[in-house]
Structure 1
Amino acid sequence: MTNKRVRVTAPQMAAYSGEPPLTRRQQISQNTEIGRLYMATLIRTQLRLAVATVAGFVLMFCGLPLAFWLAPSLRTVLVLGIPLPWLALGLLAYPFTAVAAWFFVRQATRAETEFTALVHGDS
């Protein structure tokens, strides 16, 4: 019984074409499968942010009137001589809108900056 040596090799791979692989920017511009994945991720991030912002607005601008309708006693509460519904919907809504807009712009800018850094990182 003789022990014969056997060479184990990896499966044959396609021959190297000599061309460098595509950069992320080229993959996006040429609409390759990975490029579409990059774009879909950015769009999904932006959509999630937009839905969260709209949900906050819906809760604020539909929830307050609904609360005043469901709890009529809140309508008669005075704060500094101003009825609570007027104060909540007339004054508090504006700072809420400003904060929501600031947050949205900040998060959208951050997502786009991260995406740009990812795309241009291998150029």
Structure 2
Amino acid sequence: MESLSGDYDVFPGATARALRRFQAFLYPPGRRPLYPQDAHCSCRVCSFDDVRHARDVLEEVLQELPFRARAELKHRVAHLDAAYLDRTLPDPFAERRQCRADTWWHHRLTADGEAR
């Protein structure tokens, strides 16, 4: 699927990279809030520095996968989503910024760095 995707951000290995990035952001487990950060470079590899971009890629992949593979990946992502919601804080001003309304993971508070 990755090889056949027409999406610039979905390339061979992108799904594994996105999953690793999402998991790494949430590690170590704990109760302290986490703050996503913007990527310093916008190339398709460095963009994964922003955990929100990794989640964007996972969403794109979920849209393109066949049913069985989609269900398996969706199950893994659902656990990460729950942890992300638990460990990040809502951004009350997200609607005023140029956030994508359809991606809830962009509506969380950010910082200059991923403070832990």
**Taking structure 1 as the reference length, what is the TM-score of the superposition?**
0.27
Greater CA radius of gyration, 1 or 2? 1
State TM-score, norm by structure 2. Answer: 0.28
Normalized per residue, the structure richer in helix is 1
